[in-house]
Amino acid sequence: MTTSPAPQAPRFPAPGHAAPAHAPAEVHAHHGPQSFWTRYVFSTDHKTIAKQYLFTAAFMSIFAVGWSMLIRLQLAYPHNTWPILSSLFPGLYQDGVLLPERYLSLTTMHGTVMVFFVISLALVSGFGNFIIPLQVGAHDMAYPFLNALSYWTIVPACLLMMVSFFVPDGAASAGWTAYPPLSALAEAGSGLGQTIWLLAMAPFIASFTMGGLNFVATILNMRTRGMSLMRMPLTIWTLFYASVLGILTFPALTAAAIMLLLDRLGGTSFFLPAGLIVSGQVLPHQGGTPLLFQHLFWFLGHPEVYVLALPAIGIAFDVLAAFGRRPSFGYRNTVWSILAVSALGMIAWGHHMFTSGMNPYLGEYFSIVTVLITLPFSVIAINLVASLWRAEIRLHTPMLFALGLIAAIGVGGLGGLWLGTATSDMYLQDSYFVVGHFHFMIGVVTGFGIFAGTYYWFPKMFGRMMNETLGRVHFWLTTLGTFAAFMGMHFLGMGGYLRRIYDPTTYRYAQHQPLNVFISYALLLAALGQVLFAVNLFWSLFRGKRAGANPWDATTLEWTTESPAGHNNWETLPTVSRGPYEYRTDNAPAGFHPQGEVEAAG
């Protein structure tokens, strides 16, 4: 059934575009953007903006991975000198030795850039922008101009973050969590870099908020005919909840950042208690409490991990269905579980603060809520696994990464149980157990989501397939390296080894040093694997096999338009008549029913 849907006008034609007086039906008559600048640079096309986000994230990830390699080098060989690094990075190394303060800058910037400028950008802004209009059946995002604006707001944020390495006293070094008093007091060693860090977070938050508004409006208002909520692919559901979480919780970080900035520069004492003594000097601050910052930060911080993890899980659901040739298991349960995880995730933040000195009864509450989250979270994980039940698995690269993602959720989630229980977390807090846990979750799960999405949608983005062989090698190197390293970190943490330690041999019982060396090599392997990914990306851009409209025989709407998807996505919007994952259903000629059909143009 292909009744002609009412064509949609692009919502807000570009400014300077005289308001046409004719009927909306004519407005979308195609006029692909003309000049190079409007087409590739200041484009308002969601697909171009998505690619801009993805390449920006890829660019930032080169630095973030590079910094982590320097961290691992230091942890594996704390007493060696590296003269060559002194000449390469004179700000970080002196006489071949990494400066201890700069070690902290490296961990701080690695965490910050990875969380906010790589994973958020790639997974949420990048894939979100690309796939939302294509999967809900819209010509573009609800507010294309706002969309372009949000990308161009992120650029100065990235530049500011990078510049902060070159200011006196180096980049921020108070951790990605930026806890005061350290982050608030220049006297205590947080210099201009910390101020720049705070100033760079401002455009990031503004941009991410604009993006979130766009996502919510597009998903709720712009779905094509027949695309009811319960027919939306799970990628859309997860991006929707990720956006809602961002809209609800990022303001807390904004408020915290404003107050921290005022404490740093304005002489206020929001977060600074009385009696602080730095280098023998009593500071004039009084009455503030650093705990307030921690509460505000984690009110964002915990939901933020779901902002990152959920879209990766959504992509995995799409990929598992398409490459398992069966409907996603328990679609409705998954949808409600995502809601439950998001809602509970907003009231569980205190599990990051069990040892901070907050009221133990409050701690118990946070403990209970945290463990409660594992219920809906397990439903999601079980549905991922059960989506393999009686599947006819096609083991292409996207599928490999989706399977790896399930494994990572298993390991990371299991570790979360010990961390969420206040009694065991007292011991594990701030140890490498936590580092291992969250690298499984926001390192491997999200990373694999990004890779699965890239291999899966590359043909839709660029009209060519990525190379399978390179993809498989990339998968195995990444999996072996990261799983070995992050599991090893769990053991380090159980042995009592704390995070953010410059010289691990300061422990008198240094039995963990061999494990540290092993982890460093494992991560080197994983990092080298990413070179293959980069090679594959560029090789396939120019040399990849040409892809048809639907190279994977997948059902969702994005596969009903040509590859690469053209300007406006479709001439006339498709009409949806089914659920998102109708594979191997009865009487389907090709073994699957596309979710929607497009009326022939003309």
Partner 1 sequence: MIASARTLSPDARQPVPSPVGGPYPMGLMALLTTVGMLFAAFTAALLVRRTGGDWTPVRLPRVVVFSTTCIVLSSIAVEVARAWLRRGMLADSVNWLAGSGLLGMLFLGGQVVAWRHLALRGVFLPSSPHAAFFYMLSATHAAHIVGGLGAIAWTLNRLRRGAYSPERHAGFTHAAVFWHFVGAVWLYLLILLIAF
Establish if 251 lies at the interface with partner 1 (CB under 8 A). yes
Establish if 298 lies at the interface with ligand HEM (CB under 6 A). no
Establish if 437 lies at the interface with Cu ion (CB under 5 A). no
Establish if 227 lies at the interface with ligand HEM (CB under 6 A). no
Q: Which two tokens stand for residue 132?
A: 């939302």
CA distance 123 to 580: 21
Interacting residues with ligand HEM between 176 and 205 (CB under 6 A) = 177
Site track for partner 1 across 283-312, x = CB under 8 A: ---xxxx--x--xx--x-------------
Interacting residues with ligand HEM between 365 and 424 (CB under 6 A) = 370, 373-374, 377, 413, 416-417, 419-420
Bridge partners of 316, per DSSP, are none
Cα 3 to Cα 135, 191, 424, 565, 599, distances in angstroms: 19, 63, 60, 22, 8
> Directed axis angle between helix 192-221 and helix 100-112, to 10°?
10
Establish if 72 lies at the interface with ligand HEM (CB under 6 A). no
Q: Which of 259, 422, 452, 527 binds partner 1 (CB under 8 A)?
A: 259
Minimum CB separation from ligand HEM for residue 295, in Å?
14
Site track for partner 1 across 127-146, x = CB under 8 A: -----------x---xx---
Nearer to partner 1, 258 or 417 (CB): 258
Establish if 439 lies at the interface with Cu ion (CB under 5 A). no
Minimum CB separation from ligand HEM for residue 374, in Å?
5
The binder of 299, among ligand HEM, Cu ion, partner 1, none, by C-beta within 5 to 8 A per type, is partner 1
Residue carrying the six token digits 């839709």: 460
Looking at 227-235, 275-283, 426-434, 469-477, which segment touches ligand HEM (CB under 6 A)? 426-434
Nearer to Cu ion, 54 or 445 (CB): 445
Nearest to 464 by CA among 540, 558, 539: 540
Residue number, nearest CB to ligand HEM: 416
Minimum CB separation from ligand HEM for residue 157, in Å?
20
Minimum CB separation from ligand HEM for residue 245, in Å?
12
Establish if 237 lies at the interface with partner 1 (CB under 8 A). no
Q: Which of 261, 338, 441, 565 binds ligand HEM (CB under 6 A)?
A: 441
Nearer to ligand HEM, 140 or 425 (CB): 425
CB 336 within 8 A of CB 591: no
CA distance 359 to 354: 9
Give all strands (DSSP E) within 123-188, no chain letters: none
Maximum distance among all Cα pairs of the chain, rounded to whole angstroms: 81
Residues in contact with partner 1, total (CB under 8 A)? Answer: 59
CA distance 29 to 572: 10
Interacting residues with partner 1 between 543 and 582 (CB under 8 A) = 573
Nearer to ligand HEM, 203 or 413 (CB): 413
Minimum CB separation from partner 1 for residue 224, in Å?
6
Give the 3-state secondary structure percentages of the chain, helix then strand then coil, rounded to 5: 65, 5, 35
Minimum CB separation from ligand HEM for residue 349, in Å?
10
CA distance 179 to 177: 6
Looking at 10-18, 51-59, 298-306, 592-600, which segment touches Cu ion (CB under 5 A)? 298-306
Minimum CB separation from ligand HEM for residue 461, in Å?
25
Cα 594 to Cα 98, 194, 286, 552, distances in angstroms: 56, 51, 64, 12
CA distance 107 to 282: 29
Nearer to ligand HEM, 263 or 425 (CB): 425
Q: Which of 46, 72, 110, 302 binds Cu ion (CB under 5 A)?
A: 302
Instruction: Indicate the helix (H) or strand (E) that contains 597.
Output: strand 596-597
CA distance 188 to 184: 8
Residue carrying the six token digits 């001439």: 571
Minimum CB separation from ligand HEM for residue 352, in Å?
5
- 247 CB-near residues (< 8 Å, 6+ apart): 209, 212, 213, 216
Torsions phi, psi of 270, nearest 5? -75, -45
Q: Which of 438, 456, 559, 592 binds ligand HEM (CB under 6 A)?
A: 438
Site track for partner 1 across 155-194, x = CB under 8 A: ----------------------------------------
CB 111 within 8 A of CB 176: yes
Q: Which of 221, 378, 423, 505 binds partner 1 (CB under 8 A)?
A: 221
CB 309 within 8 A of CB 446: yes
DSSP string, 257-293: HHHHHHHHHT---SS--TT-EETTEEPS--S--HHHH
| φ/ψ bin of 170: left (φ > 0), alpha (ψ from -120 to 50), beta (otherwise) | left
Task: Please give the DSSP secondary-structure letter assigned to residue 467.
Answer: P
Establish if 230 lies at the interface with partner 1 (CB under 8 A). no
Minimum CB separation from ligand HEM for residue 419, in Å?
3
CA distance 424 to 489: 17
CA distance 244 to 237: 11
Q: Which of 13, 156, 564, 566 binds partner 1 (CB under 8 A)?
A: 13
Compute how many other C-beta atoms are within 10 angstroms of the C-beta atom of residue 14.
Answer: 14
Looking at 5-13, 377-385, 415-423, 518-526, which segment touches partner 1 (CB under 8 A)? 5-13
Residue carrying the six token digits 């096609």: 394
Residues that bind ligand HEM (CB under 6 A): 177, 305, 308-309, 351-352, 370, 373-374, 377, 413, 416-417, 419-420, 425, 428-429, 434, 437-438, 441-442, 445
Residues that bind partner 1 (CB under 8 A): 5-6, 8-9, 11-13, 19-22, 24, 27, 138, 142-143, 209, 212-214, 216-217, 220-228, 243-244, 247-252, 254-256, 258-259, 262, 266-270, 286-289, 292, 295-296, 299, 573
Residues that bind Cu ion (CB under 5 A): 302
